[in-house]
Chains A and B, each alone.
Chain A
Amino acid sequence: MWVLLGIAVIVIGFMLRFNPLLVIIASAAVTGIAAGLDVHAIISAFGKAFNDARYVSIVWIVLPVIGMLEAFGLQARARGLISGLKGATTGRLLAGYLLMRQATAAVGLTSVAGHPQTVRPLVAPMAEAAAEKQAGTLHDKQREEVKAFSAATDNIGLFFGEDIFLAIGSILLMKGLLEQYGIILEPFELSVWAIPTAIAAFVIHGFRLWLLDRRLNAQAASVTAKDKAA
């Protein structure tokens, strides 16, 4: 039971807003000691896992390209493109991106889009420009909301598309685990059951994007009404 103390450290540390890196190290130390490991073993286990997980941090190599393009006005161009398009709304734009992200992830292309690659340089500025066009002016809170929606849409598209692909990590994990229990399944038999949830994810998130559009349009309408009244 004592090993659960590590989880308590995580929860409390995050709640009290300590630096997450310190919280993680503290949790690892508490968990390891509770399990009867010595300090050398804990540090080694952590170091080995850190080294094995380096591929997670590879994605940062895209930053020089993004930085270069932003210095040449990529975000301004992305905004300009959207404000020139008739009928482009934040909701429609993000719903289109959601569908594209789900579709590419479903064929295994999880790394072609993502927060550094596409959301920061393209999707977020485009969504912001569309929202500006709809609502007239945006206050800071709305700007944050539209940006957070852009990031959320990327995550939801990825999570509820990728499991349709046969050879994604989670499908292979399930297959491997079930084999240990003597149940032999083909990846296809598992991945096909990701489709109903993928559709539900698109419907639910799409509905929220439609509501976002309505809110932005309503704001524009009320601003125009006020102008007329004045």
Chain B
Amino acid sequence: MITLTWVYVIAGVAFAAFAMFNLIDKANPRRFGNAAFWGLMAVSMWAGDLLGDFGNGLLVLALVAIAGFGGLGKTKADEVPEATKNQRAAKYGNGLFAIALVIPATALAGTFLFKQFPAYFDVKQVTLISLALGVLLALAVGHAWLRAAPALPLSQGRRLMDSVGWAAILPQMLASLGAVFALAGVGDVVGGVIQQAIPAGSLVGAVIAFGVGMALFTMIMGNAFAAFPVMVAAIGMPLLIKQYHGDPAIICAIGMLAGFCGTLMTPMAANFNLVPAALLELKDENAVVKMQIATAVPLLIVNIALIYFLAFR
């Protein structure tokens, strides 16, 4: 059966290649740091299940030590001159879009198709499996039609990977921090604090506390999933549902979306907010967060109003 393990093998190959290209690159003054960093990521992808929990923890500490103390650099090598790019673009024209769309198209088709064969594919992971397949297909098409040298995608991918740098593992790191928070019971303590802050006997006050609390706690945790159980236990269940007899489906569904408004406003949601700033090579790493605030705040108000007017009819 094809599971995520196969995708991890492919991801490991990619990270190993990023490490190798750095290792032999004399134009990058920190090439050993980069090579070690992506090399460790390859080890994690390939052998993470064999390392044990403590071993994986040590691997994380090594990653943080390399990145946290300035061990990562960027190369000047492998940059393709604009003139070459424009010349090639003129030659291949809009066919380039077709290759770019191979990945989403395969992800789309694979998601529906592979679900029909639960004996061969892990149905819970079909989209990620299809995504990996799409990458391989796009590379094959690129090799056949563009006559791209086999090393070109990896050396160019390495350049993009290094421009993202340590931000690439931030999402995974924050997910892990969430696990430590859960183990330490941080959520229950925060819930207790918030419960004390609500004025007694006010439905509007409770609804606002629920919505704003979802957004704020999501901003701290970087993830609405971590905030949700805490806020439901602190306000949603005891007050909105039990005391004021609100509709649980509406309170939960829209409460979660109030949390998503918080996700838009925090650097802690790294994969959505910091990673794109790195990918787009923005000067201000918080530019995406700042841009989203003017949509997130009005939308949060709308969500709170929706809960108030829909859930308590």
Contact = CB atoms under 8 A, between A and B. Distances in A.
Interface of A: 1, 3-4, 6-7, 10-11, 14, 19-22, 24-25, 27-28, 31-32, 34-35, 37, 40, 42-78, 80-81, 104, 108-113, 115-122, 124, 140, 144-145, 147-152, 154-156, 158-160, 163, 169-171, 173-174, 177-178, 181, 183, 185, 189-194, 196-197, 200-201, 204-205, 208
A172 B171 CA distance: 21
Provide the main secondary structure of the chain A interface.
Answer: helix
Contact of A20 (B55, B99, B252, B270): B270
User: Which interface residue of A37, A194, A200 has the most chain B CB atoms within 10 A?
Assistant: A200
B40 to A, nearest CB: 11
Provide the main secondary structure of the chain B interface.
Answer: helix
A22 B190 contact: no
User: Which interface residue of A11, A80, A118, A170 has the most chain B CB atoms within 10 A?
Assistant: A170
A157 B176 CA distance: 26
B127 interface: yes
Contacts of B267: 14, 20
A115 to B, nearest CB: 4
B198 interface: no
A119 B279 contact: yes
Interface string B267-278: 110111111110
B142 to A, nearest CB: 5
Given A1-B189, A10-B268, A80-B89, A24 B107 contact: no
Contacts of B14: 60-61, 63-64
A75 B279 CA distance: 14
Interface of B: 4, 7-8, 10-11, 14-15, 17, 41, 44-45, 48-49, 51-61, 63-64, 67-68, 80, 82, 85-90, 92-94, 96-97, 99-100, 103-104, 107-108, 111, 125, 127-128, 131-132, 135, 138-139, 142, 146, 148, 152-161, 164, 166-181, 183-186, 189-190, 220, 224-225, 228-229, 232, 237, 241, 248-250, 252-254, 256-257, 260, 263-264, 267-268, 270-277, 279-280, 282-284, 287-288, 290-292, 294-295, 298-299, 302-303, 306, 310
